[in-house]
Amino acid sequence: MSTSYAPPVQRLVTELSKLPGIGNRTAQRLAFHILRTSPEDAVALAEAIREVKEKIGLCEVCFNLTDEARCRICQDPRRDQELICVVEEPSDVIPMERTHEYHGVYHVLGGALSPIDGVDPEDLKIAELLTRAASSQISVREVVLATNPTTTGEATALHIAEGLRQRAPQIKLTRLASGLPVGSDLEYADEVTLGKAFAGRRTV
């Protein structure tokens, strides 16, 4: 980065470049955009960042992001408490909700198993999931394993499935279907995706 900037500008660019997907050039553009905005807008941005760090924590039930003890989904009496969808990160809840197809509750693991990166079962909310599923307070009938279709996501799903079969064998375990995305062409599909599509084919 150029050293011709004043130290406060350099610091802002450095901090912005730490954000995911933000390279040095984008960080510079964002920094200069912030400099051009009104003092009120700049303060509002800083206050929003401060507030989210101070007030946002994890739901005591599902470990989704919330500013209360329990997130809004867990508090919603219309949600099916007997149906739990397991996802890796809080950001995974958003696309699920956008479908308007799912009406159960969630359980956020906080990542995926990756021994190479030092992420073991104890580092995730797996034990809490097993306890929640086996609890006598709510009769959970199905757990949807919606971890990412990656090596780590598949390993995490298998680990959870094994634990649930031991702790709560009466619960139905399902995995999100994977295969060809809508609107795609076969010629552009890789063999793994195409193989998953064949394995998950259904009658019409």
The pLDDT assigned to 3 comes to: 62
Q: At what angle do helices 24-36 and 7-16 cross, to 10 degrees?
A: 120
Q: What stretches of 12-166 adopt beta strand conformation (E)?
A: 57-58, 65-66, 80-87, 104-108, 142-145
Residue with token string 């009658």: 203
The pLDDT assigned to 138 comes to: 81
Q: What is the pLDDT of residues 26-39, one digit of tens each?
A: 999 999 999 999 99
What predicted TM-score, i.e. pTM, was given to this entire model?
0.83
CATH 1.10.3720.10 matches 79-175:
no
Question: What percent of the chain stands above pLDDT 70?
Answer: 99
Q: Is the pLDDT of residue 190 over 90?
A: no
What residue spans define the domains of the chain?
Answer: 7-55, 79-175
CATH number listed for the domain at residues 7-55: 1.10.8.420
